[in-house]
Structure 1
Amino acid sequence: MILRDEIQALIPHQGAMCLWDEVLDWDEATIRLRARNHRDPAHPLRSDGRLRAVHLCEYGAQAMAVHGGLRAAGTGARARPGVLVALRGVTLQVERIDDLAGDLECEAQALAESADSQQYAFRITHAGTLLAEGRAAVMLQGASA
């Protein structure tokens, strides 16, 4: 299992903006992660005392970043930072997530990659119930290696 400190070493998101607490498992194509911070009253994405389900898209995008960081670290490199450029086919099954008692889990799968972009599918669940799913596309910054 990979814990929060190791995750923060892989991605640009630091402190409270690092949304994942642990990597449960991963391989070259997929990653599974867990988070508990959605219950934190000081969560940086909360507004009006609530954490809305639309923020699960950020959880999905960060799952991509963690996966990219792990894959790059496996080759002795650092992942290039990316910019989220598109969300497609996103469905949200709830309005908010701050009132969910258990942990969030995500599975993300790489769908398409080029030297300068990546597309992933993500599914986020709580206690086995689907909360959100969709696809995210990221453009990688900096020169291709």
Structure 2
Amino acid sequence: MSAPVLDRAGILALVPHQGAMCLWDQVVAWDDQRIRLRAGNQGDPAHPLRARGRLHALALCEYGAQAMAVHGGLLAAGQGGRAPAGVLVALRDVELAVARIDDLDGALEGEAELVAASAASQQYAFRIHHGGRLLARGRAAAVLGAELPG
């Protein structure tokens, strides 16, 4: 396994998701169109997306959305800037192969591919794997520069 291109501290510097809500631990590889990431936090009892003691596979959509954010941050940093905050506005064609993910040992591996981008929005296709098995896939769209709730 190769060394990560970017570690958790580097990811935290790029995205608005902080603390435990930043779901990815490493960027494994990336280019202008796609990113590959790794995380091993799905079994953490303190995972911020756990509900009723379980981490439902629907949380993989947030992993996909955060892969978008990390990729956008890397693209902006490469141009000497900072990516605007985004708000997830749509999930499409989501397929989940499991019901929950907190019982999986080992790393989750994510991939996101840029489908369309403008100054106002981004659309990505994402896939999340574990041990070579596809757990989730779908498409996600975000509006950029929108006010985040809070």
Same fold, TM-score > 0.5, yes or no: yes
- 1:68-83 aligned within 5 A: 68-83=72-87
- Counterparts in 2 of 1:81-120, with a 5 A limit? 81-120=85-124
SS at match of 2:60: helix
Kindly indicate whether residue 37 of structure 2 is the aligned counterpart of residue 33 of structure 1: yes
- Runs of 4 or more off by more than 2 Å in structure 1? none
* Residues 46-84 of structure 1, C-alpha deviations (whole Å, 9 max, x = no match): 011100000000000000000000000001100000000
Give the secondary-structure state (helix, strand or coil) at the position aligned to 1:100. Answer: coil
CA distance in 2, matches of 1:25, 1:80: 22
How many angstroms does 1:114 deviate by?
1.3
Query: Hey, what's the Cα distance between the residues in 2 that align with 1:36 and 1:14?
Result: 16
Separation of aligned partners in 2, 1:73 and 1:100: 33
What's the TM-score once normalised by structure 2's chain length?
A: 0.93
- The alignment covers a number of residue pairs equal to 142
* Pairing partner for 1:44 from 39, 45, 48: 48
How far apart, CA to CA, are the structure 2 residues paired with 1:4 and 1:98? 20
Q: Quote how far apart the aligned CAs of 1:115 are.
A: 1.4
1:7-59 deviations in Å (ceiling 9; x for gaps): 00000000000000000000000000000010101001001110000000000
Structure 2 residue aligned with 1:24: 28
CA RMSD of aligned residues (A): 0.6
Which of 128, 131, 134 is matched with 1:130 structurally? 134
Counterpart of 1:12 in structure 2 is 16
Mapped to 2, the partners of 1:113 and 1:8 lie a distance apart of 23
Per-residue CA deviation, residues 86-106 of structure 1 (Å, 9 max, x unaligned), is 000000000000000110001
